[in-house]
Chain A
Amino acid sequence: MKNMKKSTKTDFATYAGVTAAFLIMYALQRGGHLTSSISGQLVPICCFIVMAVSLNLVVGISGELSLGHAGFMSVGAFGGIIAAQSLAGAIPSAPLRLIVALVVGALCATVVGFVVGVPVLRLRGDYLAIVTLAFGQIIKDLINCLLVGYDSHGLHIVFNISGLKSINDLHLEETGKAIIKGAQGAVGVTKIASFPAGFILVMITLVVILNLVRSRTGRAIMAIRDNRIAAESVGLNITKYKLMAFVISAAMAGAAGALYGLNYGSLVASRFDFNTSILVLVYVVLGGLGNIWGSIIATVVLYMLPEALRQFSDYRMLVYAIILILVMLVTNNAQLKALLGKLIPHKKEAAGNE
């Protein structure tokens, strides 16, 4: 342990912490000691951890602002649902189908992330924020136009731009079933997502992103964030590295979306609106930019908070907002930081490393 780099130690601590948390929760769930409320939140928490960690790669590590992360989640969710629902006959095993759906969701989001990223990441300034903001809105409206059904002839897809078509225009067979009904979203989705699958996805995301950050590529990405001109002068291909971070982040969001979509019986595109993108951004910012395990803890706490505050009924979102503000004030308080520094002597030297 002594010879390890500090960053490597932190990474292993993150893996160990996540695994321990999973094992504890899974054992409690199996033993029936968890309330239904908490059991029901496990899978969405895993999804949002992946969302927050992947967004942290763009916002914290690569230093670009993305305001449309939920758009990639949306693409992945609907891609994954189409895959899972249409393959229900071909792949009877639910876990296998879930894996296929997650891969399809990630691929769809990768393609979309690439298309969005290529032109925008060539530019300097806040253009990525502007374009991803628009992308989030566009993808919502596009999915509202999407009609997808499945029968023995395969997939039927109609793009209902004029708004005049309905599910009957798919001309499905008697036995066929509609998967996505435009604005009505995906309905009758078979729930195949599970907590262990969510845990595995979180671990894959962590391994991919932590290794990327510690690699030569990761150092290049951070160098571009810290000083673009210096990075350019040593011959780094700016667009390539930024695109790499952005597309990997989109792919992870797509996989998270697929898992999320397959956890509920219905899904509408308006779920993945601007507010959802900002919610994930809040997880990242409160957890600390560039701080991966901070994102994880912030996501878990902030996701569970509104549910834990149910006894406040109508005022719970008000209380939630107050807690957010308090957290921001407290974590930025110089005196409190100094106090913490006295209590934990290691804190000071650690501060420089993160």
Chain B
Amino acid sequence: MKNTKKIISFIVVMTMILALCSVSAFAAEGETFKIGGIGPLTGGAAIYGNAAMNGAQIAVDEINALGGVQFEFNAQDDTGVAETSVNAYNSLKDWGVQAIVGTVTTAPCISVSAEAYSDRIFMLTPSASSTDVIADKDNMYQVCFTDPNQGIASADYMAENYPDAQIAIIYKNDDAYSQGIRDTFASEAESKGLTVVYEGTFTEDTQTDFSVQVAAAQAAGADMVFLPIYYTPASVILTQANAIGYEPTFFGVDGMDGILSVEGFDASLAEGVMLLTPFSADAEDERTQNFVAAYNDLYGETPNQFAADGYDAMYILYAALQEAGCTPDMSAQDICEALVGVMPTISVDGLTGQGMTWSATGEVSKAPMAVVIKDGVYVLPEAAE
């Protein structure tokens, strides 16, 4: 008796789960393009995911307001974990997604792009910058620079402008993005004859205190500190360096963008910080101004580079869909093949670069811009002197 009850209750539970989960797939098709978004909307990386998805949403609203092609945008949370990201991707597939803007962070993006490659769904990531994201996948494109690009560009810039600098590197060695840039920077710096006097590392668990690394960099006599990291830990480094009276030139990459808006951080400490970034919220052009104003209205903060990448991603998709002559009643697979055909041929002006073009491998080509922070705004290095 007891047996049978157990078996029955087990089956009942399974059926209940099934009933709970089987959301009806395939809604009405034909009117709008169904664009999916995947990024960390909660968890430790949520600031990046939310920024990218908010930026994309603004672009969708603008595109829909233009009339003509209509987009429906569905952003799903992946908490920055590969497994959850694949789950998010699968639930977007059930929704009937036709193209995806995502994934925001690198490691999940590699997993999801492998799935999307076998399912033939077009993906455009705003910010997953590793070369592994696009490797061997013809339907995967990037809006941001690849890590090697940033590392090499940073080393080249230093070699050109500060050939005698004593360089210290502080990077996060459990993060694909940071490690990737550091590796290419180190090898390019070596071939350009730059002197690296100190390398310090930290991890997710130790990113609240940098007194050891900062003191070691100072002791090694570094007058240039390269920080291929995101802006939150960078703000701690700047504060702690200031506390011990250490004043080298800090040099960041695109993850440094946003440092001026960190809560509780004295923005005056960021004076003189140099960074390579494709986007500046203070740019004078009308499009950036409008975007920053719209973002401020909707979300109450100044957009960072991730928001701009998300915004651009949506416009790139828009341009490519129009160029390929896709219509919303096409299947995701047909759209994918059509977009793969046109991506290497189009050129898009966006917030993060004028005349962006793509190679067939999925890598973007746009000019990185070195800026320096002066009086709380980004200016070109020449203007700061």
Residues of chain B within 8 A (CB-CB) of A41 are 87, 90
Q: Are A308 and B20 in contact (CB under 8 A)?
A: yes
Closest Cβ–Cβ distance, residue B323 to chain A (whole Å): 29
Interface SS of A by simple majority: helix
Q: How far is the CA of A24 from the CA of B108 in the complex (A)?
A: 30
Residue of B nearest to A28 (CB): B18
Interface SS of B by simple majority: helix
Closest Cβ–Cβ distance, residue B212 to chain A (whole Å): 14
Q: Does A168 contact B (CB under 8 A)?
A: yes
Q: How far is the CA of A137 from the CA of B174 in the complex (A)?
A: 12
Residue of B nearest to A310 (CB): B91
Q: A197-205, A211-219, A235-243, A263-271: which one contacts chain B?
A: A263-271
Q: Are A40 and B86 in contact (CB under 8 A)?
A: yes
Write out, one digit per residue, whether chain A residues 254-282 have a CB within 8 A of any chain B CB (1) or not (0): 00000010001111111100000000000
Contact A297 to B174, CB < 8 A, known contacts A44-B83, A188-B135, A314-B77: no
Residues of chain A within 8 A (CB-CB) of B3 are 1, 9-10, 12-13
Of the residues A140, A269, A311, A346, contact of B2 by C-beta under 8 Å: A346
Closest Cβ–Cβ distance, residue A298 to chain B (whole Å): 10
Within 8 A of A (CB), among B191-223: 199, 201, 203-205
Q: Does A317 contact B (CB under 8 A)?
A: yes
Within 8 A of A (CB), among B164-185: 172-176, 178-180, 183
Task: Give the number of chain A interface residues (Cβ < 8 Å).
Answer: 62
Residues of chain A within 8 A (CB-CB) of B89 are 40
Write out, one digit per residue, whether chain B residues 71-97 have a CB within 8 A of any chain A CB (1) or not (0): 000001100011110111111011000
Contact A268 to B91, CB < 8 A, known contacts A17-B7, A163-B199, A346-B2: no
Q: How far is the CA of A135 from the CA of B25 in the complex (A)?
A: 44
Closest Cβ–Cβ distance, residue B204 to chain A (whole Å): 6
30 sample A-B contacts, Cβ–Cβ < 8 Å, listed by A number: A1-B3, A20-B7, A20-B10, A21-B11, A24-B14, A35-B91, A36-B91, A36-B94, A37-B91, A40-B86, A44-B83, A163-B199, A183-B174, A184-B106, A184-B176, A187-B110, A264-B83, A264-B111, A264-B114, A266-B110, A268-B107, A271-B81, A297-B13, A300-B14, A307-B21, A307-B91, A308-B17, A310-B88, A313-B41, A346-B1
Residues of B bordering A, CB below 8 Å: 1-3, 5-7, 10-11, 13-14, 17-18, 20-23, 25, 41-42, 76-77, 81-84, 86-91, 93-94, 106-108, 110-115, 130, 132, 135-136, 172-176, 178-180, 183, 186-187, 199, 201, 203-205
